[in-house]
Amino acid sequence: MSDLFGGDTRVAPAENKTSRSRGRAKQQRERKRRRRRSIWVLIVAILMVAGAAYVVVELMGGLFQGGGSADSGVEDYSGVGHGAVEVVIKPGDTGADMAQTLVDAGVVATTKAFNDAFAANPQAASIQPGTYNMLLEMPASDAVIALLNPSSRVSFNVTIPEGLTKGQIATKISEKMAIPVEEVNAAIADPAAIGLPAEANGDAEGWLFPATYDIEPDATAASVLTQMTAQTVAVLTQKGVPQDQWATVLNKASMVEREARLPEDRPKVARAIENRLAKEMPLSVDSSVAYGLGKPGTGLSTADTQDANNPYNTYKHLGLPPTPIASPGVASIDAVLAPAEGDWLFWVTVNLDTGETLFATTYDDHLANVAQLRAWQEENSK
């Protein structure tokens, strides 16, 4: 019967089974292909979202963090740095203080990075106060090394004007060198450390020459003060002042410095001082009295001028004050060495704005000049 229908019907079931198996396999392969395609689509989508988020953070992050550069999310810089900026490490600054200073200046990325680098460097505690040249965006470890390198410190000038006391000079040096004023005062009080001549009798007042000095990065208070005392000796020597007269010249010149406001008045004040000394008259120098009391000369009272307990009260004690009362400049030293010719015994500044000073040979004339000062004071107090 099978031949009548064109073939052997006994093989048909096997063929149908094979066909169905092939269909199922094809379906499985298709499903796997669709799953793989879905996974890749998902991965690409995730990457695109992540990339977009990164761009948004980089571009917009500063708006939510109070400003800052595109590197605000960096914990520590990895490059060598660039540009230049000066930073000041103050006396007493801790590692944390330095970290904040460097972050604010754009030197290091974060305070944490610097604090970690500071803790990891055993020499970090020896970083000195001062002004430093630093790179921008430095690795924190490099920043610590730079602060330890003396060549990173900025050399600078310090200018000491004429007529300052040693205390005022100490304050200026402290501010300029960023070192404690106590350290400067300690050096001033150590004659050997600053090369103070024996003629100063251990007191640096008047011996710290007013000038502009170059300060090296590794300079100390003592080394700067040594330059000043050496300059005083150099000036006195250059002008041919005998060594046994150094202290006397500086003493007189310090009063000229504080009393004369105008250059042309310095030789006249110097002469008036010499005339009073020659007549054994009290010098009656207000600036000396004020120095002994630690107050301005314009703030003296009658009681102040009558206080004999003040060793600098030249109303009550004859002769020169115990020490100079300030650091005189070259002009005042020259005035003492070459006083003007005249018989003046009195002087008074009658205009405290312009420094106009009148000189007199008699007490009555002096009182008339003082009256001019009182009139000026009354007019300008309104």
pLDDT tens digits along 124-181: 999 988 889 999 999 999 999 999 998 898 877 889 999 999 999 999 999 988 889 9
Which position has the higher pLDDT, 219 or 98? 98
* Helix-, strand-, coil-residue percentages of the chain, each rounded to 5: 55, 10, 35
For residue 63, what pLDDT is reported?
A: 36
Query: Are β-strands 346-349 and 357-360 bridged in parallel, bridged antiparallel, or unpaired?
Result: antiparallel
pLDDT for the residue numbered 60: 45
Q: What is the mean pLDDT of the chain?
A: 86
The model's confidence at residue 3, banded by pLDDT at 50, 70 and 90, is very low
Domain ranges of the chain: 15-73, 82-152, 156-238, 243-380
- In this structure, are residues 219 and 228 in contact, taking their beta carbons and an 8 Å threshold? no
For residues 254 and 326, is the Cβ–Cβ distance under 8 A? Answer: yes
Q: Does the pLDDT value for residue 41 go beyond 60?
A: no
Q: Mean of the pLDDT values across residues 238-263?
A: 96
The CATH number of 156-238, from 1.10.10, 3.40.109, 3.40.50, 3.30.1490, is 3.30.1490
| Numbers of helices and strands, H then E, in the chain | 13, 6
Q: How far is CA 44 from CA 47, 50, 51, in A?
A: 5, 10, 10
Strand partners, 310: none
How is residue 240 written in tokens?
């041919």
Instruction: Give per-residue pLDDT as tens, 200-226.
Output: 999 999 999 999 998 877 789 999 999
Out of 58-67, 69-78, 320-329, 340-349, pick the least confident: 58-67
For domain 82-152, give the CATH number.
3.30.1490.480
13-21, long-range: CB < 8 A, 24+ apart: none
Confidence of residue 21 (pLDDT cuts 50, 70, 90): low
- Distances in Å between the Cα of 375 and the Cα atoms of 45, 203, 204, 372 are 90, 40, 39, 5
How much is the average pLDDT of 107-118?
Answer: 96
Residues facing residue 213 across a β-bridge:
158
More confident residue, 42 or 70: 42
Beta bridge partners of 136: 82
For residue 315, the tally of other CB atoms under 10 A from its CB is 19
In angstroms, rounded to a whole number, what is the distance separating the alpha carbons of residues 273 and 84? 55
Give the pLDDT of residue 58: 45
Report pTM: 0.67
- Which long-range contacts (C-beta less than 8 Å, at least 24 apart) are formed by 208-211? 208/160, 208/166, 208/169, 208/232, 208/327, 209/160, 209/235, 209/327, 210/160, 210/161, 210/162, 210/163, 210/164, 210/327, 210/328, 210/329, 211/159, 211/160
Q: What is the mean pLDDT of residues 36-43?
A: 63
Same fold? 82-152, 156-238: yes
Q: 51 in helix, strand or coil?
A: helix
Sign of the C-alpha dihedral computed for residues 335, 340, 343 and 348 taken in this order: negative
Confidence grade of residue 69 (pLDDT, cut at 50, 70, 90):
very low
